[in-house]
Amino acid sequence: MDSLEGQNLGKYRVLEALGRGGMARVYRAYHPQLDRYVAIKVLRSDLVEEEEFLARFKREARAVAALRHPNIVQVFDFDARGDLYYMVMELLEGDTLARRLDDYRLREERMPWGETVRILLDVLDGLAYAHSEGMIHRDVKPANILLTRRGQAVLTDFGIAQIIGGTRYTISGALMGTLSYMSPEQGLEGHCDVRSDIYSLGIVLYEMLLGDPPFDAETPLAILMKHVNDPLPLPRQVDPSIPEPLERVVLRALAKRSNDRYQSAEEMALALRAASEEVGLALPERISLPLSFTTAEAPSESVAVLSGSARQKSLAAERAGEDTDATLGQKLAAEAAAEATPAEAAPEPAGSARAAGAVARGEHSAAWSGRREAVDTPAPSSVAQAALKGVSLLVFGNLIAILAGLVTGWWGIFGRGWPFELLLVGLFLSLLMEALGSIWLLIPAAIVLGNGYLMSFYAITGAWPLWSLLWPLELLLVAGAIFVPIRLASEGERAERVSRQVARAVWRPSLVLAGLVVLLGAIVGS
């Protein structure tokens, strides 16, 4: 778009360009009636042609304007002039965290740990509030964290925010963001929740501790696949001086599976505070002024939101890869198709809207599906280990029963304690359910384990005549085992989480009960 400097946008006089990102260009402007300087974010003109994208921008403006929190940039207004759509935001003096980290890199220093925790706690405060209002950021990174002269960290640019539970606009190439800070599920499937923001903030914490993000590569797809497949370079292996409690926070925040991360910003904030107390860090009340404010060359420099023009020029080459990419979906689709053999390639051109949209929505093309298997399909070793454990349970359970028979001299133990076999088979199915995360395995596992519990009760008490009264429990058990998976099957990660939680919950009591049945069978029989 042409520069708007010197023009009027509604009530605002545009003064100068401050910067640009993947979605918009940002200007410094002045409201004469209110005598107030503001930042104006103008949507890229080529994106206005996408009707769904424009709907996303409008929805974002209304949602962000409703947020009121000291650690989130305030949006004052939203309007349009012709084909120009823009948001009016507060203009804050400060420096982005990206620039602060650059200053430390130039000095070959690292940010003090206390300062690091102070900044992260401010950001987590803002994220917790936004999440409670049903909003996720989707592009948390150092360039979107402003360190103000008031000594606060403020989250800026909810440019690709998505309302939780709201309409999803899935245009061609709707996958947007910054891959170096993007969670595996957001990069692979184009969807995310609050735990995706947690992952991105974990990358930010990693960079604050070590100076650089953990994953880098020459192409977008290569970066994404490192997030998906590569083990995290352990912070203390890179720098042994990093305190172990801080490393634990990083490892939890950067778990590949969203279920294994902190489940909320509040939970991560509590863990970060506990880690700082364990280390004995003294947290500053306020964030220190940017290093550039105290240099001899610019002792009182004032940096506008999202960095000023001088900084923009100096960092343009170094930070080009940190801009939010509004065409990430198309790039990933093109790269995936380029790597596919002619026989594997999708029928449509890689750059087409359909191909790009398929990547953004996580749909399968031949070129992409092989990449997705890394996270959509459990690692063979974990499934194999679960199967091995299940078979071992069956073998050792029966060996224990045989040993009990040898000790007591009563081989009728299997006639009295046979329900332990049901419990062992149910445990085998539960192990597979936990490894696969499949809600459908809940059907056989619940039926077999439920009958194992019922039959164990009858076997232990000898109250078999009660079957004539309690047999309806069997119908309820089967109905529940079928109804719950069908109800949860469409809920994605929640279904997977429930299946794993159920599997873990039944493990110990079922194993204890199986041993008890064998023991009582041997005692009663002898």
Comparing CA positions, the residue from 328, 334, 25 lying closest to residue 174 is 328
- Residue located via tokens 């969807």: 191
DSSP 8-state class, residue 368: H
Q: Is 139 a catalytic residue?
A: yes
**What is the Cα 203 distance to its own chain's centre?**
11
Alpha-carbon distance 411 to 415, whole Å?
Answer: 8
Question: Which has the closest alpha carbon to 513: 441, 457, 433?
Answer: 457
Task: Say how far apart CA 523 and CA 344 lie, in whole Å.
Answer: 63
Give me the catalytic one of 139, 193, 197, 325: 139
Distances (CA, A) of 136 to 164, 192, 344, 378, 513: 7, 8, 36, 27, 44
Q: Are 324 and 178 in contact (CB under 8 A)?
A: yes
DSSP 8-state assignment for residue 181? G
CA distance 122 to 126: 6
Half-sphere exposure of 419 (CA within 13 A, CB side): 27
User: Which of 375, 377, 376, 340 lies closest to 355, judged by CA?
Assistant: 340
Spatial CB neighbours of 9, under 8 Å, sequence gap ≥ 6: 29, 40, 42, 79, 81, 84, 86
> Which residues participate in catalysis according to the annotation?
139
